[in-house]
Structure 1
Amino acid sequence: MTEWWLWMYIAAMAGGVVLFARWRANPRGVPLSEYRVAIAIPLWSGSWYLVMALGGGRTEVAGHLLYWARYVDWVVTAPLLLVALTLTATHSLPGRCWGLMSALIGTTVVVIISGLAAELTSDANTRYTLYTVGVLAFLAVYGLIWGPLHAHVRRQPKEIVEVYREAALLLSALWVGYPLLWLIGPTGVGLIGSSTTSLLFVVLSILSKVGWSIVDLGRLRSLSDRGRLIVA
């Protein structure tokens, strides 16, 4: 059953690549850089899930099965999602807030590396200490999204502000699922098994990658349809 869900994920990522490539051919005023990011996310993620579906990307560590390919996926796609969110936040501004974008990416990498390091240790105290570090970094990411990045958004037309708030709220809600699944899965307290955890990660990842990009790009494209999209 686990392998079936992995193939479903690969199909969803492939569908995302095709959809965003078609949208890129008719960008409707949305910068091509946003389409490139949207395409790169499912392309990279789907490739690593293909590795897992074929039996790779996993190893036995500390009494449980570690899907290390997930972390290789996340360490690239999570920053790319934040790049996409930052591009929306600065959509009609002359600058792209590279410093803030770098801070978001760096903090997100800390979150992911902390989760991986926690999975690699067999000592419970060390594991939960590393998990706590990751959660604190995770909260810092939220602080940047809803603090300084949100402040940049408010300099734009209200339609762009609405798009950003919807996209940021959706991403924030979906991303909460990752530390929760880590905690209740085999890596944490073990309330759910490895197969169930894999299934839930698949569903959550489809929603937070392809699903989120459809909402973000779709809303920007709809503004163009109404003649309200302003490109810097």
Structure 2
Amino acid sequence: MTEWWLWMYVAAMAGGVVLFTRWRADPCGVPLSEYRVAIAVPLWSGSWYLVLALGGGRTEVAGHDLYWARYVDWSVTSPLLLVALMLTATHALPGRRWRLTSALIGMNLLVFLCGLVAELTADAAVRYTLFTIGVLALLGLYGLIWGPLRTHAYRQPKEIAAVYREAALLLSVLWVGYPLFWFIGPAGVGLISSATTSLLFVVLSILTKVGWSILDLGRLRALSDRGELTVV
């Protein structure tokens, strides 16, 4: 059953690559850089889940299976999603806020490293301490998304600012699932099995890496169709 869900994930990522490639051929006023990011996310993620579906990308540590291919996936796709969010936040503004984006990616890296090292650690006290630090870092990341990045987004026309608000809200809600599923899964308190955890991560990641981009790019494309998209 777990392998079936993994293959479903690979198929969903392939579908995302096809969709965003077709959209890129008719960009509707959306910069091609935004399509490149959207394509890169499912392409990279699908490749590593293909490794998982073929039986690789995992090893046993601290009494449970560590799906290290997920962390390789997240190490690239999470920063790319933040870059995509920054591009939406500055869509109609001159220049990009790369220093702020670097801060976002740095905070995200801390979340990522805390989760990985915690899963590698056998000592429960150390593991939950690292988990707590990771959660605090995630809250700090949310502070940047809903603080300075949101301020930039609201300097744009209200229609584009609304797209940012929707995209930031959806990403914020979806990302709560990652520490939650980690905590209740085998790496945490073990309330659910490894197979169930894998299924939950599959569904969550499809929504995050393809569903989120469909919302983000789709809303920007819709504004262009209505003549409300202005790029400086």
Runs of 4 or more consecutive aligned structure 1 residues displaced over 2 Å after TM superposition: none
Q: How large is the RMSD of aligned CA atoms in angstroms?
A: 0.4
Q: Look up the SS of the partner of 1:60 in the other structure.
A: strand
Structure 2 residue aligned with 1:194: 194
One-letter amino acid matched to 1:144: L
Identity %: 79
Quote the residue 1:122 is aligned against: 122
Post-superposition Cα deviations, 1:141-191, rounded to whole Å, max 9, x if no partner, equal: 100000000000111000011000000000001110000000000010111
Q: Distance in 1 between matches of 2:41 and 2:110?
A: 19
2:47 equivalent in structure 1: 47
CA–CA distance in 2 between the matches of 1:31 and 1:105? Answer: 22
Deviations 1:115-154 (A, max 9, x none): 0000001000000011111111111110000000000011
Q: Secondary structure at the match of 2:60?
A: strand
Corresponding position of 1:73: 73
In structure 2, the residue matched to 1:139 is 139
Q: 2:65 is paired with a residue of what secondary structure?
A: strand
The separation in 2 between residues aligned to 1:209 and 1:71, in whole angstroms, is 14
Equivalent residue letter for 1:208: T
CA–CA distance in 1 between the matches of 2:13 and 2:61? 28
1:3 aligns with 2:3: yes
| In 1, Cα distance between equivalents of 2:119 and 2:217 | 35
Q: For residue 61 of structure 2, what is the amino acid of its counterpart?
A: V
With normalisation by structure 1, the TM-score equals: 0.99
Equivalent position of 2:30 in the other structure? 30
Q: Which residue of 1 aligns with 2:61?
A: 61
Report the secondary structure of 2:217's partner residue.
Answer: helix
Secondary structure at the aligned position of 1:65 is classed as: strand
Alignment of 1:153-172 (within 5 A): 153-172=153-172
Partner SS, residue 176 of structure 1:
helix
Q: Which residue does 1:148 correspond to in 2?
A: 148
CA distance in 1, matches of 2:103, 2:95: 16
**Which aligned pairs between 1:86-125 and structure 2 lie closer than 5 A?**
86-125=86-125
Match of 2:177 in 1: 177
Cα deviation for residue 216 of structure 1 reads: 0.2
Deviation digits for residues 2-22 of structure 1, max 9, x if unmatched?
000000000000000000000
Name the aligned partner's letter for residue 192 of structure 2: I
- Aligned partner of 1:35: which letter? Y
TM-score (structure 2 length as normaliser) = 0.99
Which amino acid counterpart does residue 228 of structure 2 have in structure 1? R
Q: Write the distance in 2 (CA, Å) between the matches of 1:23 and 1:106.
A: 30
Structure 1: 5+ residue stretches without partners: none
* CA distance in structure 2 between the aligned counterparts of 1:166 and 1:205, rounded to whole angstroms: 18
The amino acid across from 2:89 in the alignment is: A
Unaligned runs of 5+ in 2: none
What is the distance in 2 between the residues matched to 1:89 and 1:50?
A: 32
CA distance in 2, matches of 1:138, 1:95: 27
